[in-house]
Amino acid sequence: MKVLAIIQARTGSKRLPGKVLMKINNKPILIHIIESLRFSKLIDKIIVATTKLPEDDKIETLCKNLSVECFRGSDIDVLDRFYNCAQFFKGDLIVRLTGDNPLLDPTIIDGLIEICKESGCDYATNVLHPTYPYGFSSCEVLPFRILKKLNEIAIDPMSREHVTFHIRKNPNLYTIKEIKAPKNLERPDWRLTVDYPEDMDLMKNIFSNLYKKGSFISYEKLVNFLDDQDLIKINQMHQTYEE
């Protein structure tokens, strides 16, 4: 079973343009994501799925410099881009990630992959009923057969833009498995994604204190640090998926 990790990334973010290439500790966010994913024991290939727009040539160049595959597709129909990427690289099990979440614990990703493999479920995730912070290791794993089905049946704009929207809005139609944080580490009200300049300030603080070359920031270490420093400002704004 070939496991593909596909990172959706583009420079044309509406809220914070170019954020995937913004630097934390002198490295673009996208590089931090790729480097953390390389610690996964179950992912066979990492791919960045970006758009065909000229503005995203920079993403393709970055991928070439890292020897990471880059697939280019629609800037509007993200489901089409995602499906065609998975089909082109012949994936059996697909891991979906977005390019605005620089904090990633590959052991959590591997846990979801293992659950999906062993159970044969349609969808495994840690975002449906969150116990982890929003944006931390936010991940969805699904077999290619389900991705193919979504591409065929999901015609509404939200489903075309957000890939797994149909599953999350129709959970009764799918076999779903979830992974949850340990009780003492549950932090569902925290936001750890990059949408605004102040999010970058928090990320820079986290990485300057916890990041070490040749390793990744574990979830437990992150929670302990943020609890001790009291750095999190709980943000109740509407949370949506965006590349």
* 71 assigned to some structural domain: yes
d(CA 25, CA 10): 21
* 234 assigned to some structural domain: no
The stretch 26-30 carries a mean pLDDT of 96
pLDDT score, position 242: 42
146 band by pLDDT with thresholds 50, 70 and 90: very high
Percentage, residues of the chain above pLDDT 70:
95
Where in the sequence is the domain holding 97, given as residue range(s)? Answer: 3-229
**Model confidence pLDDT, tens digit, residues 147-196:** 999 999 999 999 999 999 999 999 999 999 999 999 999 999 999 999 99
Going edge to edge, which strands form the sheet with 45-51? 69-73, 45-51, 3-8, 93-98, 140-143, 123-125, 176-178
pLDDT score, position 231: 67
- Which among 166, 167, 163 is positioned nearest to 177, based on CA atoms? 167
* 163 assigned to some structural domain: yes
* 166 assigned to some structural domain: yes
> Structural domain tally of the chain?
1
pLDDT score, position 233: 58
Q: How many CB atoms lie within 10 A of CB 90?
A: 10
* 123 assigned to some structural domain: yes
**Model confidence pLDDT, tens digit, residues 61-90:** 999 999 999 999 999 999 999 999 999 999
* 240 assigned to some structural domain: no
In order of 12, 89, 158, the CA distances from 45 in angstroms are: 25, 9, 28
Longest dimension (CA), the chain: 48
The pTM (predicted TM-score) of the whole model is 0.93
